[in-house]
Amino acid sequence: MNADSYTSHGSAQVIPDNNVNGTTKTITVGVSAIVKDVNVTANITHPYVGDLTTLAHHPANTTIPLSVRRGGSGDNFTSTVFDDEAAISIASGYAPFTGSYAPDNPLSAADGQGRWETGGSRRSTAPPKTLDSSATGR
* Residue 20: burial class (beta carbons within 10 Å; 0-12, 13-18, 19+): exposed
For the chain, domain boundaries: 5-137
Looking at the domain 5-137, which fold is it?
A: Jelly Rolls (2.60.120)
Residue 45 φ then ψ, to 5°: -95, 115
Q: Which of 115, 110, 108, 114 is nearest to 25 (CA)?
A: 115
pLDDT, tens digit, 9 for 90 and up, residues 60-74: 677 888 999 999 999
Report yes or no: 133 and 43 within 8 Å, Cβ to Cβ.
yes
- Taking only the tens place, the pLDDT of each residue in 10-39 is 777 777 777 777 777 776 666 666 667 788
Could you tell me which of 89, 72, 62, 66 has the C-alpha nearest to residue 124?
72
pTM for the predicted model, two decimal places: 0.78
